[in-house]
Amino acid sequence: MQIEKTAAGVRAQVKAWKKEGLSVGLVPTMGYLHEGHKSLIDRAVEENDRVVVSIFVNPIQFGPTEDLETYPRDLEADRKLCEQAGASLIFAPEASEMYSEDFSTFVDAGKVTEELCGKSRPTHFRGVCTVVNKLFNIVAPDRAYFGQKDAQQLAVIRRMVRDLNMDLEIIGCPIIREEDGLAKSSRNTYLSDEERKAALVLSKAIFAAKAMAEGGEKDGDKILETMKNIIKKAEPLARIDYVEMVRWDTIEIHHTIDGPTLIAIAVFIGKTRLIDNVLLQ
């Protein structure tokens, strides 16, 4: 498994691949990889001749009170997973490689970032768009792969690619869940045994919303109220950040299911903030 620490090293390798006529897929991650990440790598390996996995805990997408310093890291375990999945190269830069001391250029996707996670994490998506833009410039992939669990991020990246006329395809991949329904996340490792059980309230609320919608319910207020009741009444360790319904393409608040609709939640279990969602096509 090839590990590169510099943008120049990655560019040189990708240039050699493309000179051979090979296609390149990119899976951007912050590391501490799990089965959800592996599903993205698997898809990328199926659809491309070579696959780059970036592993970078991006400091500019964390707020001042968030978990940048404690975010879990294990590059050796990540290397093994990437190798087993068939990835070709890991790009694992230091922060100094990505951001010079006088770095001052950012990418802001505007309105699509303002609701859901953007409301409680106002600088988050500016950091995401900036680092992903840099990764696209460094790797020059034909396709890039993002998980549906971070649904707003997926929508934001698609908008950025469209608006800036970037020459690549963005592939969204399904949420991967534990056997009991909890969406896989690197932050699940923060949970105590008691909190881990409590975290199931997220998927219970999501599955209830999906069942209501599939049963013909179109009234978003009824669906959201049901979800809030499930979370508040069933789990004292849970604290709601948001429970919302939005139009999938614009991430605008919308309370009627009359087209592609995203129902998304963010809930604190103890000190750990978890997200989940369901996309209704």
Q: Among all residues, which ones are annotated catalytic?
A: 37
**Strand pairing category for 143-147 and 238-247:** unpaired
CA angle 229, 211, 241 (to 5 degrees): 40
CA 41/CA 51 separation, integer angstroms: 8
Query: Residues 61, 87: contact at Cβ < 8 Å?
Result: no
Sign of dihedral through CA atoms 246, 57, 106, 165? negative
Could you give the CA distance from residue 262 to residue 244 in angstroms, rounded to a whole number? 8
Orientation angle between helical segments 75-85 and 35-47, nearest 10 degrees: 40
* CA–CA distance, 88 with 14 (Å, rounded to integer): 10
Angle (CA) 87 88 91, round 5°: 95
Cβ–Cβ under 8 Å, residues 26 and 137: no
Q: How far apart are CA 224 and CA 244, in angstroms?
A: 7
Question: Closest Cα partner for 107 from 64, 164, 146?
Answer: 164
